Structure 1
């Protein structure tokens, strides 16, 4: 059993061959694919894919930080509306902060992030957190929630041992590890030696961040097996053991039972 905790298979990159993509995922041993939303433009496509593959794909709802601009109030209203109607959302995501491209809307990103955290607590849902060039801001926003029931995943973790230690202070959270761990110049393997296996989950972030040996091509959920292989090598455990532990970690975060 393998779980891809973060995949955008509803994007147009998969419009031509989605059934084959899903088939390859199943053949690779993937039993669940968790899908984070981006903004109001992606909700319908996301829900459509999850409706087509209900035994495999599970939707989240949220507003991605790179989609935060002057229309953020309207976007948040849509998220709130979707949350308050009957739904199948398993998490609020992906949310967080991204200062890599642009800092223009930092104030708005912070407000949007915090409001969605509050909704996660209100609806008792986990959060999936995107952090890019914003570690200290993320930590500062999150710190008051340390003693709450908030749980979730720090998606696409690529940080230092010090950053890992600070994130692991949040008991209900896992670190999401993807194809970056297989990259030649990645320092993530050294960092992971300081992180208990019980605190990580596997993800692809498809169609991005394709692991070696397919780096440079479109990523897809089946490739989580390549990340698994690298993580097993780092922890010096069997593929089966790492698959089992990381899958149990994922199910725990999303409140699923086997």
Structure 2
């Protein structure tokens, strides 16, 4: 199994990283992909991916909620790292209008800039989208980004948005939300071919049932796989096989080991 999105460099994990890595291995997880947030998180992310290169795969990017007045300086520093090191993807990047729209224009500029980085480096994008699907789809539909591909992390859109994004060549990251009673997520994805789905935990956030309310952990990813298996009425092994294969295609796209 591959957890395509987990903040394993968070202090809650790094304070006892050896134990957490062992739990990941024991749970049958082969890899954990690490999305970056900003310049400050990058050093701890890189330390982890350097210490455990076979398991932890690094991304680089500026998260939309970290886009403030200094975003151009942040981007310049991140770009300098991108130019001297190998990364799996540009992420997590995107648009977030849920908390604040003060920096909406800057978020869009940062997103488009980082999408261009991905094109220049021939790697994919890991996209954060919250209350911004219309703008995300509009940008990704632009001809200049027609060769771009990636994962919509923690997909939360409706059925039409799921269809449009997969038509554009993007996969949908499915996490703990799929296990919640009050979610409409399955209604949004039930018509989507399984070849467009990947598993993620977004640890330490969005813990799946029955551990909701506690710290999330990559080892809980099988709960997400099992819920998908139940909803799509297939064996959990089939979900794991398909989603792992889907994730590996992104590694191949970026030519990342």
- Structure 1, unmatched stretches of 5+, are none
CA distance in 2, matches of 1:39, 1:146: 25
Residue of structure 2 equivalent to 1:204? 201
Between 1:227-236 and 1:19-28, the stretch displaced more is: 19-28
The alpha carbon displacement at 1:145 in A equals 4.3
- The 3-state SS of whatever aligns with 1:60 is strand
Match of 1:116 in 2: 114
Does the residue aligned with 1:42 lie in a helix, a strand or coil? helix
1:49 partnered with 2:9: no
Instruction: Quote how far apart the aligned CAs of 1:254 are.
Output: 2.5
The answer (yes or no) to whether the contact 2:130–2:156 under 8 Å persists in 1 is no
Shift, 1:92, TM fit: 0.3
Bigger mean CA deviation after superposition, 11-20 or 208-217: 11-20
Question: Is residue 190 of structure 2 the alignment partner of residue 193 of structure 1?
Answer: yes
Indicate the residue corresponding to 1:183 in structure 2: 180
Give the 5 Å matches for 1:36-185: 36-85=35-84, 87-145=85-143, 148-171=146-169, 173-185=170-182
- How far apart, CA to CA, are the structure 2 residues paired with 1:36 and 1:71? 20
> Aligned-pair distance for 1:16?
2.5
**Contact in 1 for aligned 2:88/2:256 (Cα 8 Å):** no
| Counterpart residue number, 1:25 | 24
CA distance in 1, matches of 2:149, 2:25: 28
Aligned partner of residue 243 in structure 1, secondary structure:
helix
Higher relative contact order (CA 8 A, sep 6+): 1
Tell me the number of residue pairs that the alignment of Structure 1 and Structure 2 aligns: 255
Cα distance in structure 1, aligned partners of 2:256 and 2:122: 16
In 1, the alpha carbon distance for the partners of 2:133 and 2:36 equals 21
- What secondary structure does 2:6 align onto? coil
**Structure 2 alignment gaps of length 5 or more:** none
In terms of mean alpha carbon deviation, does 31-40 or 188-197 score higher? 188-197
Cα RMSD over matched residues? Answer: 1.4
